[in-house]
């Protein structure tokens, strides 16, 4: 799929934001470590993030271009492909940049703190969301491995769909971009 350079830059920003958000989430969960970080994406996930339908060789070229675009501020981002799965490695320079510059408004920290407890429930999870906005959307999920999804309706900084599953006294979550969520759960849209 051909894209103008301006459109490609916008889509690269989506991938860059996702990579930075995943690393920040890891830093909140596990603490900051001054090490490179590799994130693994199936080609389908990259195509969702980039709003493309690329094959492996086209994706290789796309990621080479992406690495050039994000060199400042993330450093020498490298990728490797194993069949249709990609590992994107952000060097120490980028990991340190993310630690210093990606803000944490407290929401994810509060959510993760709650989910570490064995007795949390849907009402408590919704209370964390409502602490940060009164404009949230809650949707029961009938597809996949989740019970419900929650997201902020008008937050450009956090457009993720947080999907939750309660199992044996624990709540498991995963967050998806809007495009990923729509692709995974089209009947829910």
Residue that has been written with the tokens 């090490």 in this structure: 35
Examine the pLDDT at 171 and tell me if it is beyond 90. Answer: yes
Residue among 146, 149, 177, 172 nearest 17 (CA): 177
Q: What does the domain layout of the chain look like in residue ranges?
A: 5-101, 107-188
Residues of the chain above pLDDT 90, percent = 75
pLDDT band at 2 (very low <50, low <70, confident <90, very high): very low
HSE of 94 in the Cβ direction (CA atoms, 13 Å)?
24
Q: What is 5-101's CATH topology?
A: Arc Repressor Mutant, subunit A (1.10.10)
Instruction: Give the per-residue pLDDT at 155.
Output: 85
Examine the pLDDT at 48 and tell me if it is beyond 50. Answer: yes
Q: Helix 5-30 and helix 92-101: axis angle, to 10°? A: 80
Contact between 177 and 14 (Cβ < 8 Å): yes
- Degrees, nearest 5: CA angle 103-133-113: 60
Contact between 43 and 84 (Cβ < 8 Å): yes
pTM of the model: 0.88
Query: For 109-152, how does the pLDDT look when each residue is reduced to its tens digit (9 = 90+)?
Result: 999 999 998 889 999 999 999 999 999 999 999 766 899 999 99
Mean pLDDT of 19-43: 96
Which pair of structure tokens corresponds to residue 158? 């956090």
Average pLDDT, the chain: 91
């Amino acid at each position: 799929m051909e894209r103008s350079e301006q459109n490609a830059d916008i889509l690269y920003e989506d991938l860059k934001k996702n990579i930075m958000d995943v690393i920040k989430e890891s830093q909140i969960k596990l603490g900051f470590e001054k090490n490179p970080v590799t994130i693994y994406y199936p080609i389908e996930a990259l195509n969702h993030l980039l709003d493309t339908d690329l094959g492996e060789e086209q994706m290789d070229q796309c990621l080479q271009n992406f690495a050039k675009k994000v060199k400042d501020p993330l450093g020498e981002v490298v990728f490797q492909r194993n069949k249709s799965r990609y590992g994107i490695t952000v060097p120490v320079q980028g990991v340190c940049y993310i630690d210093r510059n990606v803000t944490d408004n407290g929401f994810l920290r509060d959510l993760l703190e709650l989910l570490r407890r064995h007795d949390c429930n849907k009402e408590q999870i919704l209370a964390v969301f409502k602490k940060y906005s009164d404009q949230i959307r809650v949707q029961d999920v009938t597809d996949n491995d989740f019970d419900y999804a929650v997201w902020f309706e008008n937050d450009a900084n956090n457009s993720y769909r947080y999907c939750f599953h309660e199992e044996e006294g624990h709540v498991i979550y995963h967050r998806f971009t809007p495009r990923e969520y729509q692709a995974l759960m089209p009947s829910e849209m």
